[in-house]
């Protein structure tokens, strides 16, 4: 069943079907929230708030965009609200990927450590970006959304997404280069 079919049926009284949408999107919504909040209980709270808001607002969903685009827009808005309310110096986004790779039943600890350190460097650099630049990186690379959908979620033209992505990549390269320089001193 498509998202839109589920939405129609939920609006017609089959509210238990909303659970299918939650199961379908809980990992991407939590992942996006974790990138903005730093993970843990804060990300869980934001994700829960997203699904509550979406459920309550389902009657207003007009279907002009895909359900997933609308859902990610709600997620982005709630993450932005959370950032404004909870901005603290030194707070950083966290990686939600698991460190470690299993080969022949063993964990390659050295590789795992190097990958974990690299992810942490990237996460620190990502957390240092302004919200408008971080958002395009998160939506493109972590949520794997196309430019058109990112533009719809952020409410900006595709060209703005492209420009922000160009600038964000440049800022990330600079931040990662500066961090390397600090480590070598």
pTM (whole model) above 0.75: no
pLDDT tens track for 58-98: 988 888 888 999 999 999 999 988 988 886 554 444 433 33
Q: Burial letters for 40-77: b for 16+ Cβ neighbours within 10 Å, e otherwise?
A: eebbeebbebbbeebeeebeebeeeeebbbbbbbbbbe
- In three-state secondary structure terms, 82 is helix
Using the predicted structure, report yes or no on whether residue 99 has a pLDDT greater than 90: no
DSSP 106: E
For domain 105-185, give its CATH number from 1.10.10.10, 3.40.140.10, 2.60.40.1080, 3.30.1360.170: 1.10.10.10
Token pair 């719809």 is at which residue?
152
pLDDT, tens only, 12-58: 999 999 999 999 999 999 988 988 888 889 999 999 999 999 999 99
Closest CA relative to residue 40, chosen from 84, 90, 80, 93: 93
> Which CATH topology does 1-91 take?
Rna Polymerase Sigma Factor; Chain: A (1.10.1740)
Residue range(s) occupied by CATH 1.10.10.10 in the chain: 105-185
């Amino acid at each position: 069943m498509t998202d839109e079919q589920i939405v129609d049926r939920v609006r017609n009284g089959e509210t238990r079907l909303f659970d299918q949408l939650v199961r379908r999107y809980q990992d991407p919504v939590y992942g996006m929230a974790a990138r903005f909040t730093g993970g843990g209980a804060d990300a869980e709270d934001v994700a829960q708030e997203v699904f509550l808001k979406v459920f309550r607002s389902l009657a207003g969903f007009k279907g002009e965009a895909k359900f997933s685009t609308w859902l990610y827009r709600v997620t982005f808005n709630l993450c932005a609200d959370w950032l404004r309310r909870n901005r603290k110096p030194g707070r950083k986004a966290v990686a939600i990927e698991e460190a470690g790779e299993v080969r022949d039943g063993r964990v390659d600890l050295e590789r795992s450590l190097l990958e974990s350190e690299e992810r942490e460097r990237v996460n620190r650099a990502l957390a240092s970006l302004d919200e408008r630049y971080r958002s395009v990186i998160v939506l493109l690379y972590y949520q794997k959304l196309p430019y058109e959908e990112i533009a719809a979620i952020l409410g900006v033209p595709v060209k703005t997404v492209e420009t922000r992505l160009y600038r964000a990549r440049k800022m990330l390269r600079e931040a990662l280069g500066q961090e390397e320089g600090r480590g070598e001193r």
